[in-house]
Amino acid sequence: MKICTLIFRLFPLFLLLTVSSRSVTAQRLVEEGKQWNMSASSGFSPNVWSYSLRLSGDTTVAGNTFLKVWRSDDSLQQSRYFTGRLLREDEQQRVWMKQGEEAETLLYDFGLQPGDSITFAGLCTAYLMETDTVVLNNGDRRRRMHFKYKQAVGIPEQFWIEGIGSQFGLLEHWASSCYTDVGDWLLCHFEEGSLVYPDNPTSCFLVSAPEPSLSANLRVYPNPTTGPLTIDREINKLKAVTLLDLQGRVIRNWNPKNRDHKLDISELPSGMYFLQLNIGNSLRPTLKIVKQN
């Protein structure tokens, strides 16, 4: 009788420890078996399309183990390519990104508490205002962090979910607030092939579209590219072109002289860049460029 009573009393504690252990493990962001389905647009057109990101294949750099970020542009994921980005997560719940020979940069800090802040690329600072909890489709409870951005150029507020990332997806969440208002959006997040967020999505993959027209008289192609880029324009309003990295640093400037201006970025590491087009009257639309090897 005493043994049964002891087991009855200890069972809730055992169950609590089991659930807590599972929850902590599930809250890590950088793990294989996760997938982010995203919507994207150029900002010059209402057309949108989708791509997906996955983490797979570890590699060691300077004693740290990273996972590679792979991208697919079709819903069946029949082909993938390495984006050039590497991610790792430390014991303090900080997520670091490395691209090429550049030093790693801080992408997330899930250890922040309300009142703390984080600065991205020296461009703007995000302040953690409050936290709450979101329940995923698999029953896991995850911490959700609500931020407000100072010096925001784009969207001034966003949230992060532990183990998932921002509503702007895995990689470029800060750029949607700090650098441009043309952001990608998270459609669906999968873990081990199962949809865990959100609970009732309208769609997890939008029909792929060709690179949309930037305006009635301006196109940039191909995108993605292995190096060559062509700016096709029928008007003479394009004053300058600037290529920036994900930290907002200027990589190169061009001054277009011909109707079809050709750029070459073949020597740059694979990954995501911003192409800023100065077309006069202080208008500087920005396009995301994907460089492949």
Cβ neighbors of 4 (< 8 A, separation 6 or more) are none
Q: Is the pLDDT of residue 111 over 80?
A: yes
Question: What was the pLDDT predicted at 165?
Answer: 96
Q: Is the pLDDT of residue 280 over 80?
A: no
Tokens (6 digits) for 165: 């990332």
pLDDT score for 67 = 97
Identity (one letter) of the amino acid at 15? L
HSE (side-chain half, CA atoms, 13 Å) at 276? 18
What is residue 133's predicted lDDT score, i.e. its pLDDT?
95
Contacts of 147 (CB under 8 A, 6+ apart): 126, 127, 128, 129, 157, 158, 159, 160
* 104 pLDDT more than 70: yes
Confidence of residue 218 (pLDDT cuts 50, 70, 90): low
Q: What's the confidence (pLDDT) of residue 110?
A: 97
Taking only the tens place, the pLDDT of each residue in 194-208 is 999 999 888 888 764
Could you tell me if 160 and 174 are in contact, meaning their C-beta atoms sit under 8 angstroms apart?
A: no
Mean of the per-residue pLDDT values of the chain: 79
Q: Work out the average pLDDT over 265-286.
A: 73
Tens of pLDDT, residues 32-60: 999 999 988 755 454 677 899 999 999 99
Peptide bond into 212 cis (omega under 30): no
> CA-CA distance, 234 to 260, in Å (whole number)?
9
State yes or no: cis peptide before 222, omega within 30 of 0: yes
Nearest-CA neighbor of 106 among 123, 119, 115?
A: 119
Out of 98-112, 163-177, 202-216, 258-272, give the one with best mean pLDDT. 98-112
Ordered by start, the domain boundaries in the chain are 34-197, 219-291
d(CA 36, CA 196): 11
CB 41 within 8 A of CB 200: no
**240 burial via Cβ count (<10 Å: 0-12, 13-18, 19+):** middle
Asked if omega into 156 is within 30° of 0 (cis), the reply is no
* pLDDT at res. 50: 87
57-93 pLDDT tens trace: 999 999 999 999 999 988 777 788 898 899 999 999 9
pLDDT of residue 245: 72
- Cβ atoms < 10 Å from Cβ of 61: 11
pLDDT at position 180, please?
63
* pLDDT for res 236: 58
Specify the higher pLDDT residue, 67 or 20: 67
Based on its alpha-carbon atoms, the radius of gyration of the chain, rounded to whole angstroms, reads 22
> What mean pLDDT comes out for the span 119-147?
92
At 237, the pLDDT band (50, 70, 90 cuts) reads low
Q: Is the pLDDT of residue 150 over 70?
A: yes
Enter the pTM of the model.
0.67
219-291 CATH fold: Immunoglobulin-like (2.60.40)
CA 121/CA 249 separation, integer angstroms: 9
